[in-house]
């Protein structure tokens, strides 16, 4: 039924559940699994620091977040997000780490053909473009990511993708 499944991940609980489903489907249908990560430019730096601590990336991420917080302790975290001051290199490191974990899970789940790609830009647009480029026949993604507040105001990434994609979309809670 499915030959190529695209699964975006941002490390959120919903994305992790979506990954499990995508791995299961890819295994059952012997499908290629395309894992992507769009840089976390609009995520609360404290959330990135928490992720870094859990995953052992503290040296690169936590020190940069601490530096940003020390610049002006009166600056609200929303302002820090708007400034997008986390360096691209650190965001790429985080994305590659997430994709490495996801790829390992897919391979351990029996998926034989897995690819990974880090992208930058508007998450919904990059997901849709990559699905078209890869000729994916299914997108499996979480219903909410790490930037939940923005999603509530502007419409979630999963909502945009499911409304505009030309292939089957499965949204996981």
Which CATH number fits the domain that encloses residue 22?
3.40.50.620
pLDDT in tens, 9-21: 998 889 999 999 9
| Phi and psi, residue 91, nearest 5° | -65, -35
User: How far is it, in rounded angstroms, from Cα 106 to Cα 117?
Assistant: 15
Judge contact between 41 and 91, C-beta under 8 A: yes
Among residues of the chain, what percentage have pLDDT more than 90?
A: 55
pLDDT at 147 over 80: no
Quote the number of domains for the chain.
Answer: 1
Q: Per-residue pLDDT tens for 58-76?
A: 666 767 766 666 654 544 5
Question: Domain range holding 118?
Answer: 4-172
Residue with tokens 């880090």: 118
d(CA 28, CA 1): 10
pLDDT score recorded for residue 80: 47
User: What would the pLDDT profile of 148-170 be if each residue is shown by its tens digit?
Assistant: 444 444 458 999 999 999 999 99
Angle between helix axes 61-71 and 45-55 (nearest 10 degrees) is 150
101-121 pLDDT, tens digit per residue, is 999 999 999 999 999 999 999
The beta-strand segments (E) located in the chain are 4-8, 32-38, 114-119, 138-142, 168-172
């Amino acid at each position: 039924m499915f030959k190529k499944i695209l699964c975006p991940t941002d490390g959120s609980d919903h994305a992790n559940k979506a990954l499990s489903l995508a791995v299961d489907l890819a295994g059952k249908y012997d499908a290629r699994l395309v894992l992507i990560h769009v840089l976390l430019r609009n995520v609360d730096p404290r959330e990135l620091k928490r992720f870094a601590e859990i995953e052992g990336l503290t040296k690169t991420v936590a020190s940069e977040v601490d530096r940003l917080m020390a610049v002006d302790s009166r600056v609200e975290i929303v302002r820090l997000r708007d400034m997008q001051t986390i360096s691209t290199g650190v965001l790429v490191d985080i994305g590659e780490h997430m994709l490495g974990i996801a790829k390992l899970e897919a391979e351990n789940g029996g998926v034989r053909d897995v690819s990974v790609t880090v992208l930058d830009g508007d998450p919904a647009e990059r997901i849709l473009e990559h699905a078209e480029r890869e000729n994916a026949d299914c997108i499996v993604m979480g219903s909410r990511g790490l930037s939940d507040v923005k999603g509530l105001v502007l419409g979630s990434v999963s909502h945009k993708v499911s409304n505009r994609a030309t292939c089957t979309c499965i949204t996981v809670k």
